[in-house]
């Protein structure tokens, strides 16, 4: 596999690693207990240029390619909290890419630039109480009245939802038009009728806030329509690709870190007269796990390479089926790999692994989200089959 990173990428990587190890890691135990990390983390990441490195300079970014986002995701996992990583990646790679792609000059100034600076926290509003991976089943409506849209509905499982400054919101502007009746609105959270219904308790990712949002007769200015009315479903399908791709990259790096830390533990943990990593059964298991992790990295990097070429070199707005298929395969494969790594490494730690004080218990809880969030593994298989003409 060719080396995709330049000296500039590696300098950026060092910045992110230092931020993760020196400014995040020492605090994550408290943030996990608080079930929230401070808003200042977004601002600090923005100051360091971490959030927008792969965005155009005219949009408030660093002007780099997508490999900058890969380096960011690979190093943020060193912060020791998937919840913090999740919150930051939603800000930089999930709620904002479509604003860069579709936004007007005014929208970029009002929403994107403050988000990349970490000054305005962003959330992505897709899932609803009755619609998750099947985004076409959403019920939130936006009815055009003069120069405004009147929005009614609810969103759930919204990361950054309790403290966001705006939501990139999927809604139905024409409920009778099927896929062609869905649009995206940029909805400031301080508008009358926008409320955080509740903060949700989760199995893992405790440091990230996850909310259920209610919108009752929220009057959203029509100028906050992103792109064209009725094209939101198709925009979102493209936006999903960056979400799934960065999730695969991040989880692969996290699994590698988990393996390395577990092996280090096994060198020191004695059982029946020698370190447990010297037991052949565990050596063979770790060989399998490292091999799976390397395969996951190769598949993810191949998907990134294709994505990077189509979006940054060829300037395509719509990704080819080949790239969508490869991204879906990467997320599917990485989800299974990372689950196996977390489970095997917890077993390797024995009783210590079942204790909250041990890092692997947090990894085991947090990792389970990957096969659900951003489209379940079952949906990935459906999409892959569809792109293959089955």
247-303, pLDDT tens digit by residue? Answer: 999 999 999 999 999 999 999 999 999 999 999 999 999 999 999 999 999 999 999
**Is 310 known to be catalytic?**
no
15, two tokens: 């910045």
Q: Is the sign of the CA dihedral 10, 12, 13, 17 positive or negative?
A: positive
In this structure, what CATH number is given to the domain that contains residue 271?
A: 1.20.140.10
Per-residue model confidence (pLDDT) at position 2? 60
DSSP 112: I
Residue 131: what pLDDT?
80
User: In this structure, are 264 and 160 located in the same domain?
Assistant: no
C-alpha to C-alpha distance for 298 and 371, rounded to whole angstroms: 19
1 is a domain residue:
no
Residues 270 and 376 in one domain: yes
With vertex at residue 324, the alpha carbon angle to CA 299 and CA 378, rounded to the nearest 5 degrees, is 85
Which residue in this structure is represented by tokens 């609810």?
A: 154
State pLDDT tens for residues 178-224. Answer: 899 999 999 999 999 999 999 999 999 999 999 999 999 999 999 99
pLDDT at 1: 56
Q: Quick check: 317 pLDDT over 80?
A: no
Domain stops at, among 102, 120, 138: 120
Structural element, H or E, at residue 289: helix 280-308
Measured CA to CA, the distance from residue 362 to residue 354 in angstroms comes to 9
Q: Are residues 161 and 251 both part of a single domain? A: no
Give the structural domain span for 212.
123-226
Q: Annotated catalytic residue: which of 119, 243, 280, 313?
A: 243
């Amino acid at each position: 596999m060719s080396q995709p990173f330049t000296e500039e990428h590696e300098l950026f990587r060092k910045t992110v690693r230092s931020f993760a190890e020196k400014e995040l890691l020492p605090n994550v135990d408290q943030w996990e207990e608080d079930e929230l990390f401070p808003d200042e983390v977004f601002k600090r990441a923005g100051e360091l240029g971490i959030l927008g490195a792969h965005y155009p300079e005219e949009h408030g970014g660093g002007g780099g390619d997508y490999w900058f986002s890969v380096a960011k995701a690979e190093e943020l996992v060193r912060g020791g909290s998937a919840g913090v990583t999740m919150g930051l990646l939603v800000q930089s790679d999930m709620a904002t890419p479509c604003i860069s792609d579709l936004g007007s000059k005014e929208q970029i100034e009002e929403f994107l630039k403050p988000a990349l600076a970490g000054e305005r926290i962003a959330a992505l509003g897709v899932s609803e109480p009755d619609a998750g991976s099947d985004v076409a089943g959403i019920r939130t409506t936006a009815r055009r009245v003069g120069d405004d849209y009147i929005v009614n509905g609810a969103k759930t499982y919204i990361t950054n939802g309790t403290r966001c400054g705006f939501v990139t919101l999927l809604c139905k502007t024409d409920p009778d038009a099927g896929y062609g009746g869905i649009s995206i609105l940029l909805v400031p959270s301080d508008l009358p009728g926008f409320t955080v219904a509740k903060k949700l308790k989760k199995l893992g990712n405790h440091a990230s806030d996850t909310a259920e949002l209610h919108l009752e007769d929220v009057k959203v200015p029509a100028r906050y329509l992103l792109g064209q009315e009725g094209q939101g479903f198709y925009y979102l399908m493209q936006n999903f690709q960056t979400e799934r791709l960065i999730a695969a990259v991040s989880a692969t790096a996290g699994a590698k870190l988990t393996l390395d830390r577990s092996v280090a533990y096994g060198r020191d943990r004695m059982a029946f007269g020698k370190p447990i990593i010297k037991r052949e059964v565990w050596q063979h298991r770790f060989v399998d796990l490292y091999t799976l992790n390397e395969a996951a990295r190769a598949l993810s990097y191949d998907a990134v390479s294709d994505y990077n070429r189509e979006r940054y070199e060829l300037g395509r707005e719509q990704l080819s089926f080949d790239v969508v298929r490869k991204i879906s395969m990467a997320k599917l494969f990485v989800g299974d790999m990372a689950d196996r790594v977390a489970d095997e490494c917890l077993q390797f730690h024995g009783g210590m692994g079942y204790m909250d004080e041990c890092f692997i218990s947090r990894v085991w809880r947090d990792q389970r989200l990957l096969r659900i969030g951003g489209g379940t593994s079952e949906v990935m298989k459906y999409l892959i089959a569809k792109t293959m003409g089955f």
